[in-house]
Amino acid sequence: MIKAILTDIEGTITRITFVKDILFPYAAARLPSFVEAHQDDAFVAEQINAVREEIGSPQASIDDVIQALLTWIKEDKKITPLKQLQGLIWQTGYEQGDFKGHLYPDAMAFLNAQHQAGLALYVYSSGSVKAQHLLFAHSDFGDIRPLFKDYFDTNVGGKKDPQSYRNILNALPVEAAEILFLSDVVDELDAAKEAGMRTLQLWRDNQATSPSHPKIEHFEQFNSELLA
Ligand SMILES: CSCCC(=O)C(=O)COP(=O)(O)O
Ligand SMILES: [Mg+2]
């Protein structure tokens, strides 16, 4: 019996184009000046050093670090220091009302219904926990953070690695087989399934599919028989 839902964000409950066409360009445009201005703040300095480590260049200049980050944004790399910095930059955009966190209406209705039915809702996204909080605090449907019990990002590991899901399981009060993981990406669903979770693909954008995972095009198609 499913007792908890672990959901991806982009492509599953949020439109991919919101992330790719609004959030990523917003961060790219502001990242150079943000990193320059905040390079001595402890958290930002930690991320800068993590970038240097990732590119194998402990002495890399701030310009080199910025170039690496901008390249990762272009290539949609889910590298932890980039995701952490993006979260900080998006804060201004949300607070100024430059954009709201997009949520598909069918996803909102589904999350509400599952919450009301007593299921525990958790989030696992490559976007940092801070970025997740911001999106849900400033969503199209207002502040929906009370729906979620906990949030996970790449600090538990990458989303295509089964160990990341085992790390999440260690933090949750339910068994693997009692968790339904929702994602649009087959590699992520494969990893969650290998860790013992149930899986369901949201197939909204013509992504690759797999016979290993049931799929729906939107949450109005959800029914428990899919998981039988
Ligand atoms: C939390 S909003 C920003 C989403 C993001 O940065 C991202 O890389 C999307 O990854 P996801 O794991 O939600 O598909
Ligand atoms: Mg996704």
Alpha-helix residue ranges (DSSP H) falling in the chain: 16-17, 24-38, 42-54, 62-74, 80-96, 105-116, 129-137, 162-171, 186-194
Distance 137 CA to ligand 2 centre (A): 19
Predicted TM-score (pTM) of this structure: 0.95
Query: Final residue of a domain: which of 60, 95, 130?
Result: 95
Which of 47, 75, 95 marks a domain boundary? 95
Provide ipTM, 2 decimals: 0.97
Query: What is the sign of the dihedral through the CA atoms of 28, 32, 38 and 41?
Result: positive
Q: Judge if 111 and 153 occupy the same domain.
A: yes
Domain of 83: which CATH number?
Answer: 1.10.720.60
Q: What is the mean pLDDT of residues 12-26?
A: 97
**How many CA atoms lie less than 13 Å away from 126 in the CB half-sphere?**
21
Q: Same structural domain for residues 39 and 114?
A: no
8 lies in the same domain as 22 = no
Among 78, 139, 152, name the best residue to mutate to test ligand 1's pocket (greatest count of ligand atoms within 8 A of Cβ). Answer: 78
Among 75, 95, 115, residue at a domain's last position = 95
Write the pLDDT tens digit of every residue in 87-103: 999 999 999 999 999 99
Q: Is 78 touching ligand 1 by the criterion CB < 6 Å?
A: yes
Pocket test for ligand 1, best of 16, 126, 136, 185 (most atoms within 8 A of CB): 126
Establish whether residue 132 lines the binding site of ligand 1, counting it when its CB lies within 6 angstroms of any ligand atom.
yes
